[in-house]
Structure 1
């Protein structure tokens, strides 16, 4: 099925921004990118999803291995006791979660990455974690030298937190024929996106599938 994703601003990365733009997805591939009026006329049969803000490539979380193996992502049922933020360092050692709790943590961590527009995660991962990454549909990108963030980084799921711009954070440019890994953020432009961060994500599309939508 063809799906047309439109937004007030499409930021393909590596090409000029497209005001009132659209991206057409056919299966797991991008079929077209351009002004909404032009693309909609060419793909009249496509289902249309209208989004606020900016549409970009999916993001890359450089520190995926560390966030999934050296952090514990609390279950919402544990919020009263543990809070909602990832737990790491001495607090993680004190918590000492067993393998079953860590498996649940990995699944929640991946879902929370999707809620930040992340489609690619830096590994390499142990096999048990890789299986969860594969099941979630995210793409593993070997980045062993980035597996541990700077000491000041902290357990933050926002890929922009270290000061990267969009080209430095996106998995790659949106291109016709390329894999349909997209993210949408409720901000007016690229400057606002990097300033406010990926917590403004309203939708994530992974291989053409809508895998996250803010309620």
Structure 2
């Protein structure tokens, strides 16, 4: 199923300047396209469009121990609240925590990589408000966190 994610601003990489009028087309767990919103809605009529207030961009790679929580599942969910969709393998050595990360779709990386929105790349997206708080997180094309 395809979904277009659009926000007030879109940033293709964490260090890129945000641009208005852009959107991301997600198909399954992959980014299909990053293009102007009007081009995507014209090319894909009837596709669900999720509109977000804030700045849409790549989800973060969490570079440290997972936040404390009572259960491994809750520790993984705490990553989503931060806008992260990946974690370094060095911080998920506990088998239960690694299993929870796998069930949640979190990418476990051997080394950090700069996140970016690129066609054919994994659809890991996050929306951040003006205050820096995470408003929504999409992991491998699935909406896993949305702030009410």
Which TM-score band applies after superposition, normalised by the shorter structure?
0.7 to 0.9
**2: CA distance between counterparts of 1:213 and 1:170?**
25
**2: CA distance between counterparts of 1:19 and 1:170?**
25
What is the CA RMSD across the aligned residues, in angstroms? 2.0
Q: In the alignment, what sits opposite 1:214? A: 147
TM-score for both structures, normalised by structure 2: 0.88
Helix, strand or coil for the counterpart of 1:60? strand
Map 1:69-84 to 2 at 5 A: 72-73=68-69
Q: In the alignment, what sits opposite 2:22? A: 21
**2: CA distance between counterparts of 1:171 and 1:107?**
25
Q: In the alignment, what sits opposite 1:186? A: 129
CA distance 1:45–1:15, change in 2 (3 Å):
farther
Number of residue pairs matched by the alignment? 145
Q: In the alignment, what sits opposite 1:10? A: 10
Flag structure 2 segments of 5+ consecutive residues without an equivalent.
none
Q: Could you tell me how far 1:123 is from its partner in structure 2?
A: 2.1
Q: In the alignment, what sits opposite 1:138? A: 106
**1: CA distance between counterparts of 2:97 and 2:40?**
40
**1: CA distance between counterparts of 2:18 and 2:39?**
15
**2: CA distance between counterparts of 1:120 and 1:16?**
22
Helix, strand or coil for the counterpart of 2:66? helix
- Once the two structures are superposed, residues 96-120 of structure 1 have per-residue CA deviations (whole angstroms, 9 ceiling, x without a partner) of xxxxxxxx1x221211110111000
**2: CA distance between counterparts of 1:110 and 1:8?**
28
Question: Higher helix fraction: Structure 1 or Structure 2?
Answer: 1
CA distance 1:23–1:54, change in 2 (3 Å):
same
Q: In the alignment, what sits opposite 1:35? A: 36
Q: Could you tell me how far 1:126 is from its partner in structure 2?
A: 2.6
Flag structure 1 segments of 5+ consecutive residues without an equivalent.
75-103, 144-168, 188-195
CA distance 1:171–1:205, change in 2 (3 Å):
farther
* Pair member with larger Rg: 1
Q: In the alignment, what sits opposite 1:101? A: none
Helix, strand or coil for the counterpart of 1:115? helix
- Runs of 4+ with >6 A deviation: none
TM-score for both structures, normalised by structure 1: 0.62
